Amino acid sequence: MSHFWKPVRKGAVATVFLGAMSAQAVALETVVIDLVNEPSSLDPHVQWNPDSYAVYRNIFDNLLTRDDDGEIIPQVATAWEYLSDTEIAFTIRTDITFHDGTPLTAEDVAFSVERITDPDFGSPQLGQFNQITAAEVTGDDTVVLTTARPYPALLAQLVKLSIVPAEHVQEVGDDAFNAAPLGSGPYVFDAWQRGVQVTLTRNDDYWGDAGPFERAEFRAVPDAATRVANLQSGASNLIVTIDPDMAMQLDMAAGVSPRSALTERVGFLRLNGAREELEDLRMRQAIAHAIDKELIVEGLLAGFDRPVDQMLSPAHFGWIDGIEGLPYDPDTARALIEEIGEDAQRPMVFATAPVFDQRIVQALQQMLSEVGLNVSIELSDMSSYLSRVQSDPEDAPHMNFGRWSCACQDADGVLHPLLHSSSSWSTLNDPEFDAPLEAARETLDEDERLDAYRAVHERVIAEVPLVPLYQAAILYGVDDRLEWTPTPNESMFLNRMGWSD
Amino acid sequence: MTSFLVRRTGQAALALFGVCTLIFFLTRLTGDPVLLMAPEGATRADIEALRTALGFDRPLIVQYWEYLNGLMRFDFGQSIVQRVPVMDIIVSRLPYTLGLAAAALVVALGLGVPMGVYMAVHRARPLARVLMGVVLAGQSLPTFWSGILLISLFAVTLGWLPSSGAREVTSVIMPAIALGLLSMATFARVARSAVLDELSKPYVRAARAKGLSTGRVVRRHVLRNGSIPVISVSALEIANLLAGAVIVETVFAWPGLGLLTVQAIQARDFPIVEAVVLLSAVVSIGLNLIADILYSVVDPRITLDGAAR
Amino acid sequence: MSVRAAMRRRNWWIAPHLWPFVAILLGFAAMALLAPWLAPADPTSQNLLGRLRPPGEEVRGFTYLLGSDELGRDLLSRLIFGAQVSLSVAILSVLISGLAGTALGMIAAYFRGWTDTVIMRVVDIFLSVPPILLAIITVAVLGPGLWNVIIVLALTRWPRYARVAYGQTLAVMNMPFVRIARFSGASAGRILAVHVLPNIIGPLMVIVTLEFGLMVLFEAGLSFLGLGVQPPTPSWGAMLSTGRNYVASAWWIAAFPGLCLFLLVLAVNVIGDDLRDRYDRRGTERSKA
């Protein structure tokens, strides 16, 4: 069987087909990357989704960036200094030029901040930056950002701030800029064949290392099985979003392999204590005891992911070693359920969406059924799922599966939205959660913050508003000739990739 | 006659208006794109701010009025998610949809008609029955399955065809086959009964009596006369091919309108959904209108009967 | 009378070449009805340590005759229970859309005038809305579930029956026996049910069989788009759409439900095709007479 499916690498039969032949000829100059959807927009300030992000981050430079180990390092800003708890001064590189040749200045940085924080502009990313109240150019190469309060996650958020050319944007307008984005990054926007692909070409005048590819093509391939076939047939060099079973399949195929990184994304099961069926703490504890995280990770996720006992990953600030959650113990779970009696048998709804791994959702449901609970899965499309999960706690589903990443590697971006009473993601209204979450948000003192988060983690274990499951791995399918290491923040920088020969 | 035309056209316009209204309100029942666009962890205030910026906080009736106003000026608005005029997006996708439908039609006609003719001419041979089975089998496979089987075989194992996308001309072959197999049966059937009808006509018997071979009669006369029903069915089948392409386009990453519609609905990008539905409504209601008018010309009884009441 | 009875008997006689296909249908129907007794295991019971096992392999004393799926469930049991879901979705959606569409089409053709205009324009409107849009709206508004899949299918398909019933009724309305019935003062309901329906049921039955096959495929398509029946409920469409991700590593997951689906639709199509031939022939005979 296996030899039948063994892929013929490109070129073997290509002589007959011109298309395949040209694919081989350009192979090493062009890297082809299969995303799920096409970018919604390449203006870095008007959307927030992974497919757009993968592309535009190669066209633009960001104020700061992270290295492959996840440390925050300079990019457009070479240095930064806190002037006070709410003011921070950035020194801007002077040797960067945009793709049209104009130099990148401190004005462009200030403009980018003002643009993304302007409520009338309507950036979906507004919430990530609206703690910034002012951006002021104070010298030739200095910008001072002022925040409303001390804001510990500021640097982590600025990693996501792409710098756009102020004059150009004002001159051509937002719509034209959106159609033909112009940045200062290692790759230049070349063409966008709607629905098919975005093509970038290398910026040979880049101030840093621009990488080995002359061209890069980002294609939209919605069906995962098709992406795998693309990789195996040599039509693409890198594919995103595959599941562990597909990864195993790639492992057996010739010339390609799966690559993974543990990310800052955490899988969890949210329990809605505002619904009467889950009001009883013992119910929520029983659920936590019923779940065998090890089995999910080893049995279903092929060991790529890692079970966690706190609602964070070690990649986050706020992770505390040695915290232990409620252990897998089906007998205790059954005992608790028996103690509750008939009320434990009431039907409950488990909401999920097609983007999540349905195997995990079904496995969780099975584990809950095995200890005697009555849970039914409700699968709806992503938009309906989001509005159900974020509706009033009394109407929200009893439980839902989620995979959370704030793309900021800071506990504030995870625990505050999931647990604070003011958040639409939280079904809680508990001062014991609110107080430490607020305290940790408003100080720059790392020890104080860690103490506050420890309190939050412990409260999560005591109250069980959610069950942390695992630190998610991100899986890619990669052409063996491509040298590249996936990173925890799920970024895809072309200038950090290369060919192995 | 004129009053019928006027009335029938008026009804078609009313139906179009109905489609626009229905779609506008139905899509709004499914929420708005704001939650999908906001990053994880956006606060209620952030979400409300985005909702205001995109205009979804205004009363529905105001939004509806604005939509109708735009329509009057043939302005279909801007994609909410992509921030590009809807017209540009549709214009860039339309050629792919038409191209795939045309290629699928070629597959369906090219396979279906010869099989149908064979089945009619050699009705008694066992092969005819086998062919009918093959034709019906083509209609019995879910395209998302046959699609991936085609890709596994022709792209991965044999490496003959590009696995997906629309970069080369050869890219259209596999999606066209997956889509065309569904319509093949229709054509085979129509061709078969058309040829059977022709074969039973006196002129064929006369020609045969004169000593012409069956093959010659079929080639000379039957095929030409039998092609009329096939052509008229093609017109209807094109509509089916256009509508049935959603899954094929998803599997083969073919950038047609079907895939666009699914993604726009899932993203709650209403202006795109509205424009695509309006386009398909104009086509389907328009075709119906034309068909009705033609019928009334051909068979005046039908309309006179209706008008009398 | 006796000639007609003989003709009817001949018409309903199942030709020998159809026997295997009728047998397939009966077999699947039996599978669906007897599922709890036939299935060797619970179709939703998982074993994460026995995932993706090939046919015939034994895990902890249980033999997976057709292999196990991505969650270690017995594929054979899921296939047997899947027959229930796939068949009932198809039967119910055909029944609902068929009844509603036929009734509306007949009413439009009988009353003409405004009733006709309104109903047939609504038909136009429904035909121009993409089915997937209706599916997502239904799920968003009503929530997901087996019944909502049936509603989606019924909503998208009734216009087909309405169109055919409309055209056929128009033709029948001009026939003498209907005119006589109308002049003698019979009620609309009586005329439609007693005089019109029996005369248009033939072409409608042809549509029904073709639609039945289509509904099985549509249900599968909805599953592929994530809008089908709810997991872990087994349906052939849902099993096939997960299984296609394992075409290279665990072929059996897609192959068996795919084969069942194929056989079911094929059987229905072959029988429908035969039915169509018969009515066509009768149609030509009548027009010659």
Within 8 A of B136 by CB-CB distance, chain C residues are: 266, 269-270, 273
CA dist., res. C120 & res. A91, Å (int) = 70
Enumerate residues 6+ apart whose C-beta is below 8 A from B256. A195, B93, B96, B97, B100, B245, B249
Cα dihedral angle (C199, C203, C208, C210), rounded to 10 degrees?
170
- Closest residue to C136, CB basis, from A361, A365, A381: A381
Would you say residue C146 lies in a domain? yes
pLDDT value of position C139: 77
CA dist., res. B163 & res. B155, Å (int) = 5
Contact C253, C239 (CB under 8 A): yes
In chain A, which residues fall in CATH 3.10.105.10? 262-473
Q: Band of the pLDDT at C280, cuts 50, 70, 90?
A: low
| Residue A159 CB neighbours (<10 A) | 19
Convert B131-152 to b/e letters by CB count within 10 Å (16 or more is b): bbbebbbbbbbbbbbbbbebbb
What would the pLDDT profile of B165-185 be if each residue is shown by its tens digit?
A: 888 888 899 999 999 988 888
pLDDT at B82 over 90: no
CA dist., res. C66 & res. C75, Å (int) = 6
| Cβ-defined contact of B29 to C140 (cutoff 8 Å) | yes
CATH topology of domain A33-39+182-261+475-499: D-Maltodextrin-Binding Protein; domain 2 (3.40.190)
CATH topology of domain A262-473: Dipeptide-binding Protein; domain 3 (3.10.105)
Within 8 A of C220 by CB-CB distance, chain B residues are: 142, 144
pLDDT value of position B304: 39
- Closest residue to C230, CB basis, from A5, A359, A379: A379
Tokens 């950036």 — which residue?
A123
What would the pLDDT profile of C161-210 be if each residue is shown by its tens digit?
A: 998 899 889 888 888 888 888 888 888 888 888 888 888 888 888 888 88
Would you say residue C151 lies in a domain? yes
Alpha-helical regions (H) of C56-190: 75-111, 113-127, 131-142, 146-173, 176-183, 188-190
Residue C145 DSSP symbol = S
Chain C nearest C-alpha distance from A362 (Å): 6
pLDDT value of position B294: 75
| Cβ-defined contact of A13 to B158 (cutoff 8 Å) | yes
| Cβ-defined contact of A245 to C249 (cutoff 8 Å) | yes
**Residue A125, token pair as written in the block:** 């990313």
Range of C238's domain? 85-248+266-288
Q: Which of C59, C68, C230 to mutate to test the interface with A (most CBs of A within 10 A)?
A: C230
Within 8 A of C70 by CB-CB distance, chain A residues are: 245, 359
Would you say residue C67 lies in a domain? no
How far, in whole angstroms, is CA A32 from its chain's centroid? 22
What would the pLDDT profile of B105-147 be if each residue is shown by its tens digit?
A: 999 999 988 998 888 888 778 888 888 888 888 888 888 888 9
Residue of B nearest to C139 (CA): B30
| Cβ-defined contact of C227 to A381 (cutoff 8 Å) | yes
What would the pLDDT profile of C51-71 be if each residue is shown by its tens digit?
A: 888 998 888 888 888 998 888
Within 8 A of A41 by CB-CB distance, chain B residues are: 81-84
User: Chain A interface residues facing chain C, Cβ-Cβ under 8 Å?
Assistant: 1, 5, 224-225, 243, 245-246, 248-249, 252-253, 295-296, 299-300, 353-354, 358-359, 361-363, 365-366, 376-381, 383-384
C242 interfaces chain A, CB cutoff of 8 Å = yes
CA dist., res. A427 & res. A271, Å (int) = 9
Would you say residue C26 lies in a domain? no
- Closest residue to C140, CB basis, from A1, A366, A384: A384
C276 interfaces chain A, CB cutoff of 8 Å = no
CA dist., res. C126 & res. C107, Å (int) = 18
- Closest residue to A245, CB basis, from C46, C70, C232: C70
pLDDT at B159 over 90: no
Contact B39, A124 (CB under 8 A): yes
Beta bridge partners of A34: A219, A239
Q: Band of the pLDDT at B61, cuts 50, 70, 90?
A: very high
Residue of A nearest to C223 (CA): A354
Within 8 A of B284 by CB-CB distance, chain C residues are: 124, 127-128
pLDDT value of position B300: 55
| Cβ-defined contact of A417 to B40 (cutoff 8 Å) | yes
List of chains touching B (3+ CB pairs within 8 A): A, C
Would you say residue C213 lies in a domain? yes
pLDDT value of position C5: 52
ipTM: 0.85
Domain boundaries, chain B: 2-72, 87-298
Strand duo A399-404 + A348-352: pairing: parallel
Chain C nearest C-alpha distance from A55 (Å): 26
Would you say residue C43 lies in a domain? no
Ramachandran angles phi, psi of B242, nearest 5°: -65, -40
- Closest residue to A19, CB basis, from B156, B168, B259: B168
Residue A342 DSSP symbol = G
Within 8 A of C117 by CB-CB distance, chain B residues are: 11
User: Chain C interface residues facing chain B, Cβ-Cβ under 8 Å?
Assistant: 17, 112-113, 116-117, 121-122, 124-125, 127-133, 136-137, 140-141, 170, 174, 213, 217, 220-221, 224-225, 237, 240-241, 244, 247-248, 254, 258, 261-262, 265-266, 269-270, 273, 276, 280
**3-state SS, residue A87:** strand
In chain A, which residues fall in CATH 3.40.190.10? 33-39+182-261+475-499
pLDDT at B104 over 50: yes
Instruction: Write the class of the CATH domain A50-174.
Output: alpha beta
| Residues of chain A with confidence (pLDDT) below 70 | 1-27
Going by CATH, does the domain composed of B87-298 fall within 1.10.3720.10? yes
pLDDT value of position A230: 93
pLDDT value of position A258: 94
Q: Band of the pLDDT at C282, cuts 50, 70, 90?
A: very low
CA dist., res. C9 & res. C5, Å (int) = 6
Kindly state the average pLDDT of the residues B83-96. 91
Q: In terms of pLDDT, which residue wins out, A95 or B42?
A: A95
Q: Flag whether the pTM goes above 0.90.
A: no
Q: How crowded is the C-beta side of B226, counted as CA atoms within 13 Å?
A: 29
Sign of CA dihedral B48, B53, B56, B59: positive
Contact B154, B174 (CB under 8 A): yes
The CATH number that applies at residue C198 is: 1.10.3720.10
What would the pLDDT profile of C22-54 be if each residue is shown by its tens digit?
A: 999 999 999 999 999 999 989 988 888 888 889
Residue of A nearest to C45 (CA): A366
Task: Kindly tell me the burial class for residue A341, based on how many C-beta atoms sit within 10 Å of its own C-beta (0-12, 13-18, 19 or more).
Answer: exposed
List of chains touching A (3+ CB pairs within 8 A): B, C
Q: % helix / strand / coil in chain A, to the nearest 5?
A: 35, 25, 40
| Cβ-defined contact of C125 to B19 (cutoff 8 Å) | yes
What would the pLDDT profile of C84-129 be if each residue is shown by its tens digit?
A: 999 999 999 999 999 999 999 999 999 988 999 899 889 888 888 8
pLDDT at B275 over 70: yes
Angstrom distances, CA of residue A432 to CA of A297, B44, B237: 32, 21, 65
Residue A200 DSSP symbol = E
pLDDT value of position B305: 41
Within 8 A of B283 by CB-CB distance, chain C residues are: 128
| Number of Cβ pairs < 8 A linking chain B and chain C | 128
**3-state SS, residue C57:** strand
Chain C nearest C-alpha distance from B20 (Å): 9
What would the pLDDT profile of A75-88 be if each residue is shown by its tens digit?
A: 999 999 999 999 99
Residue of A nearest to C245 (CA): A225
pLDDT value of position C12: 58
Residue B85 DSSP symbol = B
